[in-house]
Amino acid sequence: MSRHPESSADGTDHIVVDDLQKVFDVRKKTGLVRREKHRVRAVDGISFTVPRGEMVGYIGPNGAGKSTTIKMLTGILTPSAGRVRVAGIEPARDRTRLTRRIGVVFGQRTTLWWDLPLIDSYRLMHRMYRVEDRRFRENLDRCVELLELGELLDTPVRQLSLGQRMRGDIAAALLHDPEVLYLDEPTIGLDVISKTKVRTFLRDLNAERGTTVLLTTHDLQDIEQLCERVMVIDHGRLMYDGALAGLHEIGESERTLVVDLAEELPPVDAPGARVLKVEGPRQWLAIPAAASAAPVVTAVASAYPLVDLSVREPDIEAVIAKMYEDRAAP
């Protein structure tokens, strides 16, 4: 399988979003017949670009505007204002043309034909997307092998488990060699083994074929394992765009150092560390995520009878929660 040619109207930027906005008029029933109209800014001036071949995580709480953004990037929704280009195409205007260049996986609902065997859906995709026979065969074989779909091909989609269905959906989105893959909550509700399969597959896809991937998720492990870059959105605004590591600094997150001493001692005194908890011979120390743990470890080891030690990485969920708190109470 070949990598996609390096050609795009926007140079190396595969997805270009400039001051994107989406405003909904929501009618609320306030009485028997009275309705109150109010405007909701689901996406409120978002700008970013994604270079070809990058894998980006797009995270935020429910109702933050993630799905609305994805819908505008696929052409399902028309933006209220701003500019969107995907592979050089304006999605809302050229939706049908764009469909052949992108793959979309909606975690919550399937793009497969519910009552028909998996293979029927694939055959229909083959003809609908006018995929060349040999390419289709290759792509299908590869997906079947890597996503372990072999025994499921003749099973009606409605009889598949959630994890099986998700793998089936991912395969369906890739049979026409899309350059851009959108995944909306691809691991939601999956068990650990299915999640691992999906993540491994996506990482390989991105590495081998150079497919640009944008994924929304609630599961921060998805981001930690797949994406070097993460965008955080809340209330329709982009709150962070950058490396995963940088998120810790912004959120002022801390790593936890768990030290087991030989005997019960008063809280240890180590520069740059703060004792969180003492429980018998075990103590919990907090150090800033951005700082190195080494000096603290050395200091503790030289001054105290150290038996064992472990480091816990900060929980991004907590980091993001903290970020939201800071914004909410400036």
Residues that bind other proteins (CB under 8 A): 24-25, 68, 71, 74-78, 92, 95-96, 99-100, 102, 104, 106, 108-111, 113, 115-116, 120, 123-124, 127-129
State in angstroms the smallest separation of the CB of 273 from other proteins: 49
Minimum CB distance to other proteins smaller for 216 or for 256: 216
Minimum CB distance to other proteins smaller for 71 or for 248: 71
| Tokens (6 digits) for 224 | 């930690």
Angstrom distance (rounded) from CA 241 to CA 9: 24
**Which residues lie closer than 8 Å to 273 by C-beta, 6 or more apart?**
257, 285, 286, 287, 296, 299, 300
| Tokens (6 digits) for 67 | 């799905």
State in angstroms the smallest separation of the CB of 16 from other proteins: 19
Minimum CB distance to other proteins smaller for 127 or for 279: 127
State in angstroms the smallest separation of the CB of 218 from other proteins: 18
Give exposure, 286-311, as e/b (b: 16+ Cβ within 10 Å).
bbbbeeebeebbebbeeebeeeeeee
Angstrom distance (rounded) from CA 275 to CA 284: 6
Minimum CB distance to other proteins smaller for 160 or for 316: 160
- 213: which strand partners? 55, 181
State in angstroms the smallest separation of the CB of 40 from other proteins: 11
Minimum CB distance to other proteins smaller for 108 or for 310: 108
State in angstroms the smallest separation of the CB of 176 from other proteins: 9
State in angstroms the smallest separation of the CB of 80 from other proteins: 8
- Which is it for the CA torsion 302, 307, 313, 314, positive or negative? negative
Angstrom distance (rounded) from CA 310 to CA 284: 10
Minimum CB distance to other proteins smaller for 99 or for 200: 99
- The H or E element that residue 47 is part of is strand 35-51
